[in-house]
Amino acid sequence: MENHRAERVSEALKEELGEMISYELSDPRIGDAVVTEVLVSPDMRHAQVRLHLSKDVDAQKGTIAALEGARGYLRHQLAERLNLFRIPELHFEADVKLAVNARMDQLMKRVRRGRPRDQEQPKN
């Protein structure tokens, strides 16, 4: 039951934060940030917000710094929009899974190109 509630809260936070970050925040440091995942702790006090950011490292740091600065505003807006007893503390981080997956695909293609095709072994 608790796990199901955490999933519902996580999904609600993802939807609301995605809308607020994409359309309502006017900070120029926030580029094309997209909320990919929100992980809520079992006690519902903390939420890790994972974002898909641009490839530029400086832009990523600027976006995360801007979102850290807007954390209070975001929590206040979430409290108004969601009917929750406690709004979790927000922690922002870049979603590295997407970058890692793209890199793994690239490496797998290189391995496939470099490996000779299976040749039939002559039978004795």
Q: What is the pLDDT of residues 57-93, one digit of tens each?
A: 888 888 999 999 999 999 999 999 999 889 999 999 9
Total residues belonging to the chain? 124
pLDDT at position 94, please?
A: 87
Cβ contacts of 30 within 8 Å, gap of 6 or more: 21, 63, 66, 67
Domain assignment present for 80: yes
Summary mean pLDDT of the chain: 84
Domain containing 91: what range?
2-114
Residue 37, domain member (yes or no): yes
CATH number where 73 lies: 3.30.300.20
Is residue 124 one of the residues assigned to a domain?
no
Q: How many domains does the chain have?
A: 1
In a domain, 122, yes or no: no
pLDDT, residue 65, reads 92
Is 56 contained in some domain? Answer: yes
Q: What is the pLDDT of residue 103?
A: 72
Would the pLDDT of 29 be above 90?
Answer: no
Asked if residue 55 belongs to a domain, the reply is yes
pLDDT range class, residue 2, cuts 50, 70, 90? low
